[in-house]
């Protein structure tokens, strides 16, 4: 499902800008200070694959149904789909809870 991720521990909401600037790896929640892992690769690969399949099918459909297709129109259509996909890409990021070690729990309680 395409939606902005939330902290897996306290469900703190992150903004679109924060999510788009995050890197793959471990982070701490700004609200509850618990550790979670940012997973950008899995959702992004699935989404990009789906967009590529849609673009290929759309181009094949347009070439088969309209023999006088204008290349500028086709390029603009492809660019609009790719631009939309890039804007939606941060919505595929997921946060996964990390197990906290006992020593870290003691440090966080202090």
Is residue 106 one of the residues assigned to a domain? no
Band (pLDDT 50/70/90 cuts) for residue 106 is low
Q: Which pLDDT tens digit goes with each residue over 12-31?
A: 989 899 988 888 888 888 88
3 state DSSP class of 37: strand
The reply to whether 109 falls in a domain is: no
Domain total in the chain: 1
- Kindly state whether residue 10 falls inside one of the protein's structural domains: no
Element (H, E) at 104: helix 102-109
93 is a domain residue: yes
pLDDT at site 102: 64
Q: Is residue 38 part of a domain?
A: yes
Q: Classify residue 8: in a domain, yes or no.
A: no
pLDDT tens per residue, range 42-93: 888 999 999 999 999 999 998 899 888 888 988 999 999 999 999 998 899 8
Dihedrals phi, psi of 54, to nearest 5 degrees? -65, -45
Query: Could you tell me if residue 23 is left (phi over 0), alpha (psi between -120 and 50 degrees) or otherwise beta?
Result: beta
**106 or 53, which is more confident:** 53
Domain that holds residue 70: 16-99
Does residue 64 form part of some domain? yes
């Amino acid at each position: 499902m395409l939606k902005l991720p939330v902290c897996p521990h306290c469900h703190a909401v992150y903004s679109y800008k924060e999510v788009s600037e995050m890197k793959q790896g471990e982070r701490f929640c700004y609200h509850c200070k618990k550790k979670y892992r940012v997973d950008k690769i899995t959702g992004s690969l699935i989404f990009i694959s789906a967009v590529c399949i849609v673009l290929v099918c759309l181009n094949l459909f347009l070439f088969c149904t309209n023999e006088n297709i204008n290349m500028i129109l086709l390029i603009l259509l492809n660019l609009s789909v790719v631009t939309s996909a890039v804007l939606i890409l941060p919505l595929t990021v997921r946060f996964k809870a990390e197990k906290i070690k006992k020593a870290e729990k003691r440090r966080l309680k202090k």
